[in-house]
Amino acid sequence: MNTLSDKRPLAVTWPDERRRVTFDAWLGALAPAHGLRPETLRPASSDASFRRYLRVDSERTSYIVMDAPPEHEDVRPFVHVAGLIDAADLRAPRVLAQDATNGFLLLTDLGSRLYLAELQAAVAAADTSSVDRLMRAALSTLVDWQQRIDARSLPPYDDTLLRRELALFPDWCVQREFDVRWNSEQQATWASTCDLLVASALAQPVVAVHRDYMPRNLMVCEGAPGGPGILDFQDAVRGPISYDVASMLRDAFISWDEEQELDFAIRYWQQARKVGLPVPADFGEFWKPLEWMGLQRHLKVLGIFCRLKHRDGKPAYSADLPRFFAYAHKVATRYEGLGPLARLIEPLMGATRVDAFY
């Protein structure tokens, strides 16, 4: 959820009149108990899914309404994980009312201070102290998440899910975006790469994984306990401890040089060790699996962004393909066993390899 400013309220449009009538009846029934003023309803944000978020005022505060068409989205995982977060004393929208059948939720409002916007502003201003403060707070909250969230009720990030995500890359990026068909040798390279990445992921200690822990899904909530507000957590799973760290450090909207990445990662690793999370005693033994985990995510994201463009009519995400190709290529050229993947993706990047022999 990426909250927007309320300076220019926009009308709420409904592509389905029946859904609008159902929604109006649901919100109207809630209005007396929460002091809602339905006439103030306006867009708050949208995201890459079919969900959208609306803001509605009461006399004293504002609330967020999730509109998630049930033919495309299931709000029950969001409700479940929101409960886990609340039990862990972390900041996230709390579910105040729900109609799971129709896909409507009434949520607390974390405000309009986007973590990504404040981090980008600090980077643009070369305000290193604010960058450090924001990133430390986000990574500290991630440590709290991993330590406090009870992962037992979350679905496993297992072999099947990892491979299903990786398959998005050849299906949507290679074939649909670039119209490339791999030959049998290239397909074998891809299969062996997937085997390596999945084995690395499954060998890691298991914690609760947000699965999209990045600045765009965090809110600045200064003056309130619990650290940054956490959004878009409905896809949480039980899986590799490095996944959310990789998501935070190699983001779709902000990139760091490697020295800065390492600094952030070491700070996370030190804090994780201090509270007893199952990270290796040697940072080097943590960094390699983190990079491999990040590579799995980068390949998945490349596929997702292309799917958003071609299936969902959201082409803007494809503008970030070069960033994720760069992430993936850097890792693939660094580690033994992943070099063939680098050769596989270079033509898609527009890169030409020159092998020199001395």
Summarised one tens digit per residue, pLDDT across range 18-48 is 999 999 999 999 999 999 999 999 998 766 5
**Separation of alpha carbons 325 and 319, rounded Å:** 11
In a domain, 3, yes or no: no
Q: Which secondary-structure segment (H or E) carries 146?
A: helix 128-148
Residues 104 and 130 grouped into a single domain: no
Q: What would the two tokens of residue 222 be?
A: 């200064």
Share of the chain residues as helix, strand and coil, in percent rounded to the nearest 5: 50, 15, 35
Q: In this prediction, what percent of the chain has a pLDDT beyond 90?
A: 87
For residue 32, the surrounding DSSP H or E stretch is helix 17-34
The residue with tokens 């495309």 is 72
pLDDT of 196 strictly over 50: yes
Residue 129 has pLDDT above 60, yes or no: yes
Specify the 3-state DSSP secondary structure of 124: helix
CA atoms within 13 A on the CB side of 148: 17
Domain CATH for 77: 3.30.200.20
Q: Are residues 217 and 85 in the same domain?
A: no
Question: For residue 313, is it within any domain?
Answer: yes
In a domain, 355, yes or no: no
d(CA 166, CA 206): 20
CATH of residue 272: 3.90.1200.10
pLDDT at 204 > cutoff 80? yes
For residue 57, is it within any domain? Answer: yes
Specify whether 261 is located in the same domain as 215: yes
Average pLDDT rounded to a whole number, residues 271-282: 98
Structural contact between residues 54 and 65, judged by C-beta atoms closer than 8 angstroms: yes
Q: Over range 183-198, report the average pLDDT.
A: 98
Do 103 and 127 lie in one domain? The reply is no
Asked if residue 9 has pLDDT above 70, the reply is no
> What pTM was computed for the model?
0.91
Q: Is residue 7 part of a domain?
A: no
Amino acid letter for position 83: G
Contacts of 146 by beta carbon, 8 Å cutoff, 6+ apart? 207, 208, 241, 244, 272, 277
In a shared domain, residues 144 and 285: yes
Give the separation between CA 43 and CA 351, rounded to whole angstroms: 42
Are both 341 and 283 inside the same structural domain?
Answer: yes
Task: Please determine, for residue 240, whether its predicted confidence score (pLDDT) is greater than 60.
Answer: yes
Specify the DSSP class assigned to residue 173: I
224 versus 122: the higher-pLDDT residue is 122
Q: What is the pLDDT of residue 252?
A: 86
Residue 215 confidence (pLDDT) = 96
In a domain, 9, yes or no: no
Per-residue pLDDT at 350: 80
Asked if the structure places residue 207 within a domain, the reply is yes
Tell me what the pLDDT averaged over the chain comes to: 92
Q: CA–CA separation, 211 vs 230, rounded Å?
A: 12
Range of the domain at 184: 123-349
Same domain, 129 and 169: yes
Kindly state the average pLDDT of the residues 126-150.
Answer: 96
With 50 as the cut, is the pLDDT of residue 355 above it?
no
Q: How far apart are the C-alpha atoms of 130 and 122, rounded to whole Å? A: 6
Which of 74, 108, 142 delimits the end of a domain?
108
DSSP assignment string, 199-260: HHHHTS-EEEE-S--SGGGEE--TTSTTSSEE---TT-EEEETTHHHHHHHS-SS----HHH
Domains in the chain: how many in total?
Answer: 2
In this predicted structure, what is the pLDDT of residue 161?
98
Q: How confident is the model at residue 67, as a pLDDT? A: 96
What's the average model confidence in pLDDT over 229-233? 96
The model's pLDDT over 301-336, given as tens digits with 9 standing for 90+, comes to 999 999 999 999 989 989 999 999 999 999 999 999
CB 55 within 8 A of CB 46: no
Q: Which two structure tokens, joined as six digits, stand for 274? A: 């201090």
CA distances from 307 to 72, 128, 159, 213 (A): 15, 36, 22, 21
260 in any annotated domain: yes
Q: Do 158 and 285 share a domain, yes or no?
A: yes
